[in-house]
Structure 1
Amino acid sequence: MAADGIPSALPAAITIEDLHPDVLTRTLRLLDGPALAAASCATSRLRALAAQPCLWEDLCLSAWPSLRDPRLRDLLPSFPASHRSFFSDAFPFPDPSEESRPCQDAPAVLISSIDLFHEGEHVFSRVLETDARDPWFLGSPFRIDALDRKDEGSTLAAPISPEDLTLSWVVIDPARGRAVNLSSRRPVSVERHWYTGEIQVRFAVVLGGGEAAANAVVACGEETMQPREVNLTVQDVDGMCLNGKESLVVLRGAMKGRRMGWGGEGEAEARRRYAEYAAAKQERKERRMRREGRLDMCCIVLGVSLFLGLFAFAALR
């Protein structure tokens, strides 16, 4: 204090640059992926701290428990920016406007990292490897089963509500260090199967410029209300399952393409895009049915005309 009793100048305000790196790192650990990415754009110091691999590794392991599998723990450090680039690939949604084009660098091996949650609680995880060069895979309808009725671990302690399920299905190309999440996270539809009575919970994202969709389906028992089957297929806009060779083109395009949407906003956009895709598929189905109906009617009229003509010819003889 000055001699005349007037306070001297106040010390300069403490800025974020004055905080100890350990304090800032502990604070950054509390952020989710989008917030951490946003914080890294604030200052050069925050950018350096937010780039620490341990932060992104913790985020990935929290979002996808299946990444604790030894095969993936050894694989992810080989990504261009380790867990950070994996998060950037797998957390946002693939841009459905990206058109699929024939490619010469289709993946030789696909690794599926699957995590199912109910009301935020972890239900199960799977890591599956698929040989994408196998002739049977290339020529048969694309389908990956993550859970089937023979799995002993498919029985839960209590029934579930299908609407509260969330699913992540990340497909990884280990050779090129790319990944894409083929699930809408939250269901796009919950329906009862007309024949088995099972509840089918569908998670889907639109791919290939709107001409295809990845469909992950969780089938829950009618009485037990527990997951019994979990599988992934790729279908075109006519509802036909693509084979392995065609699916690789779509998946490779999704891996290489842009990403869009984070969090709830991204989920809402993915559901909206799928609703448009489903409406287009239904319209094409109805148009095809009308065309087939007209063709059937023409065949009937032609058949009747021929019959009457033959009948008249026989009568006149």
Structure 2
Amino acid sequence: MMEHLKCDLKCLSRDILADIMARLDGSTLASAACTCSDLRGIARNQRLWKQLCNSTWPSTALDEAQHLISSSTDGFRRFYADSYPLISNDHKDANNYFPIQPTLISPSNFALFIDVYYREKCITSSVLDGIPMETDFGQDDDTTTGLMSWVLNCPFKVVPSDINDEDIEDGDDGHDFVSLVGKADDRCNELKEGIRLSWVLLDKKRGKAGNLSSWKPLSVKKIWASNGDYIIHFGCIIPVQESLQLPHNLAKCLIVARCNIEEKRGYLRWKEVSMHIEDTSGAYVNGGKSLIILNQALYCSRSNNRHAVKKGYIQFEGRKQEIIRKKKLEETMADWLVHLRSMHIEDTSGAYVNGGKSLIILNQALYCSRSNNRHAVKKGYIQFEGRKQEIIRKKKLEETMADWLCISFEVPMDLGTYIGLNWVRHTYWRRGYPF
């Protein structure tokens, strides 16, 4: 029955169909390609997908981006399919779906496509062919190897140099200034609703891409110590393989954007965008592991559900705070033990109490009676010292009596000690001291 169905769109010319499909968004265009062979053929036209990519990510329309995308098979169509959905945190990815990792991942294998939007208008775009740090390597092979080793073992951070207005003069609005409406002491909510960021990573050799950004801000904070500076966080949570030995087998790709709002002129000045990788303890991941994580991110699950992406970020931050809390508790305990070494607990014989009993005594001290009478506290201390001195005096008397018996009557030490002890006890009993 299905074989005899005919496509009613065949009566339209191919040019008209192509013009209609050029007006569709990516998901609708992909759905239309599944209806009949004619639409499928038109939907595979790279010109349509290039136009769609250019409108979604203006960075792909830059001259330096053309050869990076078009060089791979189904370049723009595959780029859109990989980059439009966001990376989601799925633990099943960590050990089941990642391909075999290459023995060496070079920073030059990747390209970055960065686009910043405000109120659905692109305000700045940038393309980076390779990780920027690699451009600092010299010509000498030994020097290059040494620098590469240093980069791979140091904390990893990417800072595109062309997304920066620090050198723009005050009288120049620049290309990435945006007019703001009204005046406010805190623009966090306005920036959270208006700012969008895309950070697409492309593996040039395999043609695989992925969007490392959360699209919407994950957090916006005002730096109150500065004059109108704001820090905006984007990013994604990447499940990683156990071989990387990261806590919870998770990593956070954090994109930090910094901007300044000039309230007098009503402008937003974009200052810097940077990216780095963190584990759940908040520590920066080094360059070698970061490159592996970025490569794994290209093969993670995708989702168009922005709430699911935000939920994964919240769960990651919860684990991070738990680790930080435990670490602070350990540091507090360590500090307490250090201070404990300068404090000790004695019994009435003057002997130090061991650590286990000391902890029990300190805990019991929290539940003892209290008094604002300083003299009563001092009186208790004097009574304790009196008992302590009495015990020490009795002990010395026992030792003196034992020594006298041993020397005078050649009594064995054990017997002398026994006689001396009983003599002292008998003497104190006659004086009314209980034993």
The TM tier, using the shorter chain, reads 0.7 to 0.9
Q: Which residue in the other structure is 1:5 paired with? A: none
Q: What letter matches 2:324 in structure 1? A: K
Q: Which residue in the other structure is 2:344 paired with? A: 305
**Matched-pair contact (CA < 8 Å) for 1:79–1:86:** no
CA distance, structure 1, for counterparts of residue 292 and residue 238 of structure 2: 11
Q: Which residue in the other structure is 1:7 paired with? A: none
**1:192 is matched with which residue: 203, 222, 242?**
222
Instruction: Quote the offset at 1:125 in angstroms.
Output: 0.8
Q: Which residue in the other structure is 1:236 paired with? A: 279
Runs (5+) with no aligned partner, structure 1: 1-11
Instruction: Quote the offset at 1:249 in angstroms.
Output: 0.8
Q: Could you state the TM-score of these two structures normalised by the residue count of structure 2? A: 0.62
Q: Which residue in the other structure is 2:30 paired with? A: 37
Q: What letter matches 2:10 in structure 1? A: E
Q: What letter matches 2:310 in structure 1? A: R
1:117-266 → structure 2 map (5 Å cutoff): 117-128=117-128, 129-130=130-131, 134-146=148-160, 147-152=163-168, 153=174, 156=177, 158-159=179-180, 161-163=190-192, 164-193=194-223, 195-196=225-226, 198-209=229-240, 211-221=250-260, 223-224=262-263, 225-255=268-298, 257-262=299-304, 265=305
Q: What letter matches 1:44 in structure 2? A: S
Deviates more, 1:128-137 or 1:117-126: 128-137
Deviates more, 1:245-254 or 1:145-154: 145-154
Q: What letter matches 1:150 in structure 2? A: E
Relative distance call for 1:137 and 1:149 in structure 2 (3 A) is farther
**Matched-pair contact (CA < 8 Å) for 1:154–1:228:** no
Paired residue secondary structure (2:313)? helix
Relative distance call for 1:143 and 1:14 in structure 2 (3 A) is closer
CA distance, structure 2, for counterparts of residue 184 and residue 51 of structure 1: 28
CA distance, structure 2, for counterparts of residue 217 and residue 303 of structure 1: 45
**Matched-pair contact (CA < 8 Å) for 1:95–1:254:** no
Paired residue secondary structure (1:238)? coil
% identity of equivalent residues: 26
Relative distance call for 1:177 and 1:284 in structure 2 (3 A) is same
**1:282 is matched with which residue: 300, 305, 321?**
321
**Matched-pair contact (CA < 8 Å) for 1:92–1:260:** yes
Instruction: Quote the offset at 1:223 in angstroms.
Output: 4.1
Q: Could you state the TM-score of these two structures normalised by the residue count of structure 1? A: 0.83
**Structure (1 or 2) with the larger CA radius of gyration:** 2
Deviates more, 1:163-172 or 1:147-156: 147-156
Q: CA RMSD in A?
A: 3.0
Q: Which has the higher strand share?
A: 1
Instruction: Quote the offset at 1:62 in angstroms.
Output: 0.7
Structure with bigger RCO (C-alpha 8 Å, 6+ apart)? 1
**2:73 is matched with which residue: 76, 80, 100?**
80
Instruction: Quote the offset at 1:246 in angstroms.
Output: 1.1
CA distance, structure 2, for counterparts of residue 248 and residue 309 of structure 1: 59
Q: What letter matches 1:106 in structure 2? A: I
Instruction: Quote the offset at 1:144 in angstroms.
Output: 1.4
CA distance, structure 2, for counterparts of residue 67 and residue 227 of structure 1: 20
